[in-house]
Amino acid sequence: MLTANRTPVLRCWVSYQHCHQRESSGRMEHCTHVFQISGIKSPEKKRVLIQGIQQLRGKYIGGSVYQDISTHLIIPQVLSSEKFLAACASGKWVVTPDYVLDSVRNGSWLAEGPYEVAISTGATSTFYPVRQWREKVASGRLTGAFQGWRVLLMIKEPTRRDMFKRLLKAGRAKVYRFPPTSQASITHVMAKPVTEDSNSLNAPCYPVTHIVQHLFGSNCADMNFHVTNDLPAETKEDSFVDVDFSKLEAELRDYVIKQQGRPRLCFLEFLGYHDPHRPQSQATETDFSNVGSMIECGLFIEALDSIRSAVFPGLLPPAQYLVSLLEYAQQGHATTVFLRNFQHVMYSLLITNPPWLAPQTVKHYFSKVLQCPRCKAGVWPFLKTAISYCLSNEFACHPLPGPALPTLLHFHSDLLAFFLKLFQGEFHSITTGDFLLLQGTGVSQLSASGCLLYRTFWTVWERSTLLSCAVKQLVQLMVQAATKDYAKRDEKQKLHLVTTLLDLLSVLVEFWCQQHFKLNQHLVDKGLKDLAEHFACISQDVSPGVLAELVVRVSSTRLRLVMTDAIFRSLCCRNGFTVGDEPLSLKKMVLSYLPALGSLVQSPSGARHRNEPTSHSCTSPGTGCGIQSTVVNETSTEKENIPRGLTRINAAGETLLHRACKRNQVETVLQILALPGTDVNVKDHAGWTPLHEACNHGSTACVEALLRHHPIPVINSQVEGVSPLHDALLNGHMDIAKLLLEHAGSFLLQQSYGNGQTALDLVTATSQREELLHSAQVGDSTLRKNVSRGLNLPLLEAGSSLLSHLIFSYRQERGLPSRTQSNDKIQSLGNRLVRALEKDSLKKVTLGWTDQRAVRLVVDAETLLEVGRGSYLGQVSQAVKECNGENTVLLMEVLEDLKSQGEALMADL
């Protein structure tokens, strides 16, 4: 049975080899039916078809690539394959398998027409994707779909380049490789990815998707496929397996949860701690009564020496003695040697009796010692007093010697370092489990609820919020320390105090997040956002350069991420450029933050737009918060200039600015834009901005008014893949499209839309393409001229530093599964995610998903793929590209690394 089934296939293969040999010698017999097959995975179905072809004296050609000698292609439905597109371009018959099966029943070849592959586009209409080209070739009007094309192929990957070469030649195009010969008159440049080099040639540059657009016109959107190779038989089964999108969402969610729950701060110095109750050769009991007598007699130095000699594991000197010695140290009369010895005693106690490895009595002991000797109000007031003394602030729970004495400054600075070491040890013990404990000691692991961290910074009623009263005060003191350090200290001493406070804040943030993320991730996200927004708000008077250097020193990745994001948005808002308040993503950084950086460089040195809204979330969809907040206290004369209905928002979320742009009411638009704090990027409920509406409805005068406004609107914002330029071209408003290009330059032409098309794909006339390219060149020239004007290079350097560290921190904290991760399961997850996006659109992949963290990963993957294709290179302004500042050069390297990562993802496809 097995032999009988395999024989016809073997015979067919021998027949094909014989046919191919005769064709190669130029003596192939005329055959009207030469078949290739694509998209049929079942070997049994394929065997039956080949048997039928042989039975009717037809020829079959195997292999994974298109052969021009074929006359028919058999496919079950429209496919994303080289064979299908090449058969369309060459005018061959493309039929379903039933054509062969019914012909076998008939005993001879039937007419192909009823079996031609079609796509149902509605209840009654049907689209035949191959028919138009087949009829033109059969009538002799064309030799192929690409007749007259002289194409320069700029595709690096050899396999894909060969595929497109065969495809173009099937449609009778002439194909050249880069660099072209001097005699070649190129009509098309086909590039993947589209780069600046490919755009610099004297011919229109198209992405390879233009081939599909040319073959099928507007119907290609319904067909929804990418150009791919026909894979070898041994790998086909894997490539045709559909991805279970619901399972993919669950796996991505699990990956995110695992990433969020991993330990962030590692303190190796605590790994060597042993059990504090290990046997010791020294005496286990010590009489400290003589120490009390020394203190009563004022012999503080002698009392401290006695304690130093009696610090052993399991032995703690009475707390009241240390409190008395601490009070003496704070009075300013102690010598430097005494202060240094006191610090030595405290560190010895911490090492020999660490509270995170000891009973509750030891934790209570440290709580009694580490508080103000007079007020005894707790650990945080004492810690706050130490910070304030280092800052020469007036705040103190009780008067301290002033002005600040150098010896006491060092003493309080050392106290802060001691507190940091104590809290780091507690955090380390809580987050690393009980592997530090020896069995049989009777010592239980430190409970988070009773640790000093909670007791110091959160009351019982504050533990559900990160931004407690103590944490808020710590952030304010840290901002003051940053200002003071930069104003009064030399380069070597800068940020010494701030670094300690930043490390302390990192420990607090990681500790609190570890306690809550498993129970309520939304609570953690809100806590981090509140903390970052609070920091950005109170640090508005701090130099951008100081803030940029601050975030570099934050040891907690998630804290650095949210702080950098809040600072960058605040910086943009203070300098007149509004960015959206949608959740942070790689797409937002590329499409919003990079253009914002280009606008920052144009800001006047030292400028600060006081009439701009101070909220960092002033672009919420459907709100006009910027407008409403500025009209409350206007004078009667100013109120006369406020148009009626300014604050009214209709059911669609449209403001008066939206409605005026739709109706081309330019006078109303100018009135609104003249009001201080107007949000030019306000969105309706669907996400459309006023610029979208003006471009969609052909309101040219309103577009001109919006483009003259400061800050300028976001020109490249998309709603489900539709940008303002896309809106204008889809509705035939060429004048508006040229305005946008003259203002923003050629990067808009490189931006792809939801269906993979670029702006040039939306126009068919050559004259229109030339007009758009000319307008883009005018825009590029204007941008280059602006670069030569007065630039705020310090602000650019600060913004570049923030953005580069934001991208770096984002990839560390929320990065995609990558090949650098050793776990094969994680690598497989990343590969399947990218392949799902290559096969289907983002909207289809994430349809019905409820976990926004998983959706964000898909958006990030799509963004990386686009960056790898070079689609977003135009987001970087000429001023940023030409700046030689250290931070800006670093940013360009980070963007190149992003591009390399995107190219690596494409290479895995």
- Residue 151's pLDDT band, with cuts at 50, 70 and 90, is confident
Average pLDDT over residues 507-525: 87
Confidence check: pLDDT of 149 > 90: no
| Between 735 and 241, residue with greater pLDDT | 735
Do 339 and 397 sit in the same domain of this protein? yes
In this predicted structure, what is the pLDDT of residue 400? 74
What's the pLDDT tens digit per position in 442-489?
A: 344 446 677 888 889 998 888 889 999 999 999 999 998 888 766 655
CATH code for the domain of 180: 3.40.50
Quick check: is 539 in a domain? no
Quick check: is 110 in a domain? yes
Q: What is the mean pLDDT of the chain?
A: 77
Question: Rounded to the nearest 5°, which phi and psi values hold at 126?
Answer: -135, 140
- Residue 103's pLDDT band, with cuts at 50, 70 and 90, is very high
Distance CA 860, CA 854 (A): 10
Q: How far is CA 254 from the centre of its chain?
A: 19
Dig out the tokens for 413 from the structure: 């600075």
3-state secondary structure of 639: helix
- Give the N- to C-terminal CA distance of the chain in Å, as an integer: 39
Is-contact 485 495, C-beta < 8 A? Answer: yes
Confidence check: pLDDT of 673 > 60: yes
Other Cβ atoms within 10 Å of 179 Cβ, number: 10
- pLDDT-wise least confident of 232-246, 335-349, 381-395, 453-467: 232-246
* Beta-bridge partners for 152: 176, 189
Do 166 and 40 sit in the same domain of this protein? no
Do 11 and 123 sit in the same domain of this protein? yes
Task: Find the domain containing 89 and state its range.
Answer: 2-139
Do 657 and 685 sit in the same domain of this protein? yes
Quick check: is 735 in a domain? yes
- Residue 560's pLDDT band, with cuts at 50, 70 and 90, is very high
- Residue 164's pLDDT band, with cuts at 50, 70 and 90, is confident
Do 157 and 133 sit in the same domain of this protein? no
Confidence check: pLDDT of 773 > 50: yes
| Between 186 and 127, residue with greater pLDDT | 186
Nearest Cα to Cα of residue 619 among 650, 656, 573: 573
Do 277 and 416 sit in the same domain of this protein? yes
Of 415, 432, 449, the residue at which a domain comes to its end is: 432
DSSP result, 280-327: -SS-S----HHHHHHHHTT-HHHHHHHHHTT--TT----HHHHHHHHH
Cβ contacts of 312 within 8 Å, gap of 6 or more: 280, 282, 284, 286, 352
In this predicted structure, what is the pLDDT of residue 827? 61
| Between 606 and 728, residue with greater pLDDT | 728
Is-contact 456 427, C-beta < 8 A? Answer: no
In this predicted structure, what is the pLDDT of residue 51? 87
Other Cβ atoms within 10 Å of 337 Cβ, number: 10
Q: Which residue has the tokens 């983002």?
A: 842
| Degrees, nearest 5: CA angle 488-491-497 | 65
| Between 707 and 159, residue with greater pLDDT | 707
Average pLDDT over residues 766-784: 83
Quick check: is 723 in a domain? yes
In this predicted structure, what is the pLDDT of residue 621? 39
- Residue 821's pLDDT band, with cuts at 50, 70 and 90, is low
Do 781 and 694 sit in the same domain of this protein? yes
CATH code for the domain of 46: 3.40.50.10190
Is-contact 215 89, C-beta < 8 A? Answer: yes
Do 128 and 165 sit in the same domain of this protein? no
Percentage of the chain modeled with pLDDT above 90:
12
| Between 205 and 201, residue with greater pLDDT | 205
Question: Rounded to the nearest 5°, which phi and psi values hold at 410?
Answer: -65, -35
In this predicted structure, what is the pLDDT of residue 24? 35
Number of H helices, E strands in the chain: 42, 10
Do 358 and 424 sit in the same domain of this protein? yes
Other Cβ atoms within 10 Å of 291 Cβ, number: 24
Peptide bond into 179 cis (omega under 30): yes
Quick check: is 651 in a domain? yes
Do 163 and 207 sit in the same domain of this protein? yes
| Between 188 and 31, residue with greater pLDDT | 188
Question: Rounded to the nearest 5°, which phi and psi values hold at 845?
Answer: -65, -40
Confidence check: pLDDT of 11 > 50: no
Average pLDDT over residues 847-852: 85
Distance CA 94, CA 85 (A): 10
- pLDDT-wise least confident of 190-194, 831-835, 838-842: 190-194
Average pLDDT over residues 668-679: 84
Confidence check: pLDDT of 613 > 60: no
In this predicted structure, what is the pLDDT of residue 268? 64
In this predicted structure, what is the pLDDT of residue 716? 76
DSSP result, 701-739: HHHHHHHHSSSPP-TT--BTTB-HHHHHHHTT-HHHHHH
3-state secondary structure of 405: coil
CATH code for the domain of 624: 1.25.40.20
Quick check: is 121 in a domain? yes
Average pLDDT over residues 30-52: 83
Quick check: is 438 in a domain? no
- Residue 707's pLDDT band, with cuts at 50, 70 and 90, is confident
- Residue 817's pLDDT band, with cuts at 50, 70 and 90, is confident
Confidence check: pLDDT of 89 > 80: yes
Peptide bond into 403 cis (omega under 30): yes
In this predicted structure, what is the pLDDT of residue 879? 75
Distance CA 441, CA 62 (A): 74
| Between 811 and 356, residue with greater pLDDT | 811
Report the number of distinct structural domains present in the chain: 5
DSSP result, 454-511: HHHH--TTTTT-SS-HHHHHHHHHHHHHHHHHHHHS-GGGTTHHHHHHHHHHHHHHHH
Quick check: is 808 in a domain? no
In this predicted structure, what is the pLDDT of residue 444? 41
Do 329 and 199 sit in the same domain of this protein? no
In this predicted structure, what is the pLDDT of residue 703? 92
In this predicted structure, what is the pLDDT of residue 753? 67
In this predicted structure, what is the pLDDT of residue 284? 55
In this predicted structure, what is the pLDDT of residue 193? 66
In this predicted structure, what is the pLDDT of residue 474? 93
Q: What share of the chain is helix, strand, coil (3-state, %, to 5)?
A: 55, 5, 40
- pLDDT-wise least confident of 142-146, 547-551, 753-757, 802-806: 753-757
Of 139, 174, 200, the residue at which a domain comes to its end is: 139
Do 97 and 175 sit in the same domain of this protein? no
* Beta-bridge partners for 177: 153
In this predicted structure, what is the pLDDT of residue 236? 37
DSSP result, 9-70: HHHHHHHHHHHHHHHHTT-PPP-S-EEEE-S---HHHHHHHHHHHHHTT-EE--SSS--TT-
Is-contact 274 358, C-beta < 8 A? Answer: no
Question: Rounded to the nearest 5°, which phi and psi values hold at 652?
Answer: -85, 0
| Cα separations in angstroms, 475 against 508, 532, 699, 716 | 11, 10, 48, 36
Distance CA 656, CA 508 (A): 46
